[in-house]
Amino acid sequence: MKVRIHKLFDYLLDTVAEEPDAIVGFSLSTSPTLGDFLPDLDPDLSLDWNQRSFRGLPELRAHILRQAGLDTVCADDDVLVTAGAAEANYLVLRQLLSPGDRLVTEVPGWPQAEVLGRAAEAEVVTVARDEADGWRLPLDRLEAAAVPGTKVIFLSNPNNPTGRVMDETELCAVVDIARRAGAWLVIDEVYAGLEWDGPRAPSVAGLYDKGITTGSVSKALGLQGLRTGWLICRDPELVMDAVILRENASEIMNILGEVVAEVALRPGRYRAALEAARDEGRAGLDRMDTFVTETPGLSWVRPQAGLIGLARLPDGIDGEDFARRLLAPPWKTFLLPGAAYGQPGHIRLGVGGGEGTNLETGLARLAECLATWPEHERAGTG
């Protein structure tokens, strides 16, 4: 199983040594500090594993089900705590896909499924979302791609990176497509909780017996450094297979990640943190929306959820060329090119990260860099 690097990670590796003055594209809420949790931590806590369950702390798993709206549908043992949503996705895809299996996923979307599918020598079929249609998932194309015998359908909801949300009606239609195909349906929910235009969609683990929900505390709560996520599935064999696979990879969860995540997901604390993140996120997106509207040549579909979206550059400007020039002096501002998601004429804009990102400085430099872009360097000119 040879894993080939994806453009997103390739760009991050290539630019990690840079020291930008500003970031325009941060994808998670302002991160708390360890000190915010110290009053709730036991200084005598053993730094061995949790010594109670290979699936994660029982109280943490109960919180995970509650925040996903699955506490009356799923049991605690339907949850496996993982090293972030990325490990949850890996455990699922690694055990389900074999050479020749059909994997259907979306573009733009979180690229992990495509990378792992190709490494497993699966047949990877992508369904394109259209910007002109507000990045909506085209159900007719999904149905055409998910032929009978399809092994896995992998989607994100809210969509990463466009912020488009499938509502309950759309999600139930996707479940029907998966059921007719006999496919497992994996939906990555890392941005759930930060919906701006409507309620959180139901989690697929509660809608379909072959539905798998993955998520983490990284985005809405800003706790990416904990590396604490989960998978939820009502199929006990799949969950146990994931436990066994993890035993041969990361082995067991880190106790600090479990304990701090459990504190963060306690109902009262979770509600307060989510409300603060939503207030900050909505204000940031209002600011970004104004910036895009007022900047000649830029356009975007405002995200329905999450803290990032894709912005279209003027015709002829390549997103990676623009991102690299913006990162270099005198601009020294970081953002991700749309090529990381298969959209080369775009850049990823985001409003997360709080004051440390120097967003206003970054926006001013982005606008100036765009305004001074040499005409002869546009594709197809000169």
The CB-side HSE value for 271 (13 A sphere, CA atoms) comes to 3
| DSSP summary character for residue 328 | S
For the chain, residues classed under CATH 3.40.640.10 are 43-266
Comma-separated ranges of CATH 3.90.1150.10 domains in the chain: 7-31+270-373
pLDDT in the model for residue 34: 95
Choose among 341, 346, 369, 364: nearest CA to 112.
341
Q: What is the dihedral of CA 174, 177, 180, 186, to 10 degrees?
A: -50
How far apart CA 153 and CA 178 sit, in angstroms, is: 7
Phi, psi (degrees; rounded to nearest 5) at 139: -65, -30
CATH class of 43-266: alpha beta
Report the distance separating Cα 95 and Cα 235, nearest Å: 14
Q: How far is the C-alpha of 309 from the C-alpha of 332, rounded, in Å?
A: 21
Among 3, 1, 5, 2, which residue's Cα sits nearest to residue 340? 5
Largest interatomic CA distance in the chain: 68
Alpha carbon distances (Å) from 86 to 231, 269, 346: 10, 25, 24
Task: Say how many CA atoms lie within 13 Å of 226 toward its Cβ.
Answer: 29
Distance in angstroms (rounded) separating the CA atoms of residues 271 and 265:
8
* 3-class secondary-structure state, position 188: strand
Cα angle for residues 226, 273, 60 (degrees, 5° grid): 50
* pLDDT score at 377: 78
| Contacting residues for 56 by C-beta, under 8 A, at least 6 apart | 50, 79, 80, 81, 230, 253, 258
Which pLDDT does position 381 carry in this prediction?
45
Tens-digit pLDDT string for the chain (382 aa): 788 888 898 999 999 888 999 999 899 999 999 999 999 999 999 999 888 999 999 999 999 999 999 999 999 999 999 999 999 999 999 999 999 999 999 999 999 999 999 999 999 999 999 999 999 999 999 999 999 999 999 999 999 999 999 999 999 999 999 999 999 999 999 999 999 989 999 999 999 999 999 999 999 999 999 999 999 999 999 999 999 999 998 888 899 999 999 999 999 999 999 999 999 999 999 999 999 999 999 999 999 999 999 999 999 999 999 999 999 999 999 999 999 999 999 999 999 999 999 999 999 999 999 999 998 777 654 3
**Rounded to whole angstroms, what are the CA distances from 84 to 9, 52, 79, 175, 232?**
16, 20, 13, 25, 13
Give me the half-sphere count of Cα atoms (radius 13 Å) on the Cβ side of residue 285.
26
Fold of 7-31+270-373: Aspartate Aminotransferase, domain 1 (3.90.1150)
* Residue 311 structure tokens: 């912005």
